[in-house]
């Protein structure tokens, strides 16, 4: 099925470890996004890429970096994981910015 | 923050009844979108309403937008057990979406 694929689905890290979350879309979308979802907080935008070759900070970028590897792939990196980064991470894509987004099923990340 | 806020936080109804949830936001918008999230899954886009539109329909969904009150409502008619999910409104800023905290809808068979 066409859509947004996130890997891994689950991950447990120790404080201070690094990790890259992968995201790929096969809908030829220009824009891609990374969100985190915490209980009672809704979704908060971490970083986004309006088009290939560009990335911008969202609402909560501290502690994260991103790479728009090509039009299909947008990765999120935690350089030194902290317990406050325990969350569910969602990747999304849209044809252009501000248009309806298609979401992956998330990566559940726990940091001990 | 431009984040939308949904009301109520939780709603429980019987199958066949209508469900109404509301969204309020703080600043001017380009469009407002509604999404559904089933437990353990990603969000699914339901409907988009532009700032110059007042009402929009899609199947059993009806969305209204009142830009003077900075509010929107989502009505689901003749609800089904399969409608059980969390519903989020999302408002567009300059280059991204701001999501609210969601309404948890439970439809009892």
* pLDDT, position A15: 97
Predicted confidence at residue B53, as pLDDT, reads 96
| Candidates B33, B41, B88; nearest CB to A42 | B88
pLDDT by residue (tens digit) across B34-71? Answer: 999 999 999 999 999 999 999 999 999 999 999 999 99
Predicted local confidence at residue A28, as pLDDT: 96
Say if the Cβ atoms of A42 and B102 lie within 8 Å: yes
Measuring CA to CA, which residue among A78, A77, A76, A74 is closest to residue A101? A74
Of A43, A45, A105, the CB nearest to B41: A105
Section A39-66 average pLDDT: 92
Interchain proximity A106–B42, CB inside 8 Å: yes
Q: How far is Cα A107 from Cα A104, in angstroms, rounded to an integer?
A: 9
Per-chain mean pLDDT for chain B = 92
Can you tell me the distance from the alpha carbon of B33 to that of A93, in angstroms, rounded to the nearest whole number?
Answer: 15
A40, closest residue in chain B (CA to CA): B101
Q: How far is B95 from A1, CA to CA, in rounded Å?
A: 28
Helix/strand/coil for B81: helix
Test the B interface: residue of A43, A106, A108 with most B CBs within 10 Å: A43
A91 CA to centre of own chain: 4
Q: Please report the pLDDT score of residue B6 as a whole number.
A: 86
C-beta atoms of B42 and A104 within 8 A: yes
Confidence of residue B3 (pLDDT cuts 50, 70, 90): low
pLDDT digits (tens, 9 = 90+) for B61-82: 999 999 999 999 999 999 999 9
Check whether A41 has a pLDDT greater than 90: no
Within 8 A of A34 by CB-CB distance, chain B residues are none
Q: Is B29 on the interface with A (CB under 8 A)?
A: no
Please indicate if any CB of chain A lies within 8 Å of the CB of B87: no
Query: What does the pLDDT read at residue B95?
Result: 64
Percent of chain A topping pLDDT 70 = 98
pLDDT at A42: 84
């Amino acid at each position: 099925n066409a859509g947004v694929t996130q890997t891994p689905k689950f991950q447990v890290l120790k404080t201070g470890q690094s990790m890259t979350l992968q995201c790929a879309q096969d809908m030829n979308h220009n824009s891609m996004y990374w969100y985190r979802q915490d209980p009672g907080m809704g979704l908060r935008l971490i970083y986004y890429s309006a088009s290939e070759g560009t990335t911008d900070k969202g609402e909560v970028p501290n502690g994260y970096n991103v790479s728009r590897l090509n039009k299909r792939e947008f990765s999120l990196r935690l350089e030194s994981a902290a317990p406050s980064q325990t969350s569910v991470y969602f990747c999304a894509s849209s044809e252009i910015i501000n248009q309806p987004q298609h979401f992956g099923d998330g990566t559940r990340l726990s940091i001990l | 923050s431009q984040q939308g806020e949904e009301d109520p936080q939780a709603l429980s109804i019987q199958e066949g009844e209508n469900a109404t949830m509301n969204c309020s936001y703080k600043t001017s918008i380009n469009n407002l979108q509604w999404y559904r999230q089933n437990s353990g899954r990603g969000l699914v886009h339901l409907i988009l309403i532009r700032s110059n539109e007042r009402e929009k329909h899609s199947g059993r969904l009806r969305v209204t937008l009142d830009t003077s009150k900075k509010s929107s409502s989502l009505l689901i008619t003749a609800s089904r057990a399969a409608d059980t999910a969390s519903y989020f409104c999302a408002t567009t800023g300059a280059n991204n979406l701001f999501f609210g905290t969601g309404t948890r809808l439970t439809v009892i068979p």
